[in-house]
Amino acid sequence: MPITKSAQKALRQNLKRKIRNLRKKRATKKLLKQVKFLLSQEKIKEAKKLLPQIYKAIDKSAKTGVIKKNKAAREKSKIAKLLNRARIKNQPAKEK
């Protein structure tokens, strides 16, 4: 345990920040899992509706330092790519 008052306060701050950061990470992961589950069931419209929420959660995590900004960009790109692949896969074939 910390001895000085400043070390005690730093410990309290670290614990609060840890909880806040874990909450943001879990929320982001939960949304990503929901989208992947919807895509596996071929519910593309519902998955697209979650896209703004995912972007918002990822951007907030990057802004507050929970994840780095390049990782945020990578995650957003990856989820958009998944949606596009699913959308293209489910389009009816064009006849000539």
For the stretch 27-55, pLDDT in tens is 999 999 999 999 888 888 898 999 999 99
Q: What is the pLDDT of residues 51-84, one digit of tens each?
A: 999 999 999 999 999 999 999 999 999 999 999 9
Distances (CA, A) of 32 to 1, 53, 65, 73, 74: 38, 10, 19, 14, 13
Quote the percentage of the chain above a pLDDT of 90: 74
Calculate the average pLDDT of the chain. 91
Long-range contacts of 67-74 (CB under 8 A, 24+ apart): 67/25
pLDDT at 1: 86
pLDDT-based confidence at 96, cuts 50/70/90?
low
Per-residue pLDDT reduced to its tens digit, 1-10: 889 999 999 9
Which token pair is 94? 């064009």
What spatial distance separates the first Cα and last Cα of the chain, rounded to whole Å? 75
pTM as predicted = 0.80
- 8-89: CATH architecture: Up-down Bundle (1.20)
Residue 24's pLDDT is 94
C-alpha span between 21 and 1 (Å, rounded): 23
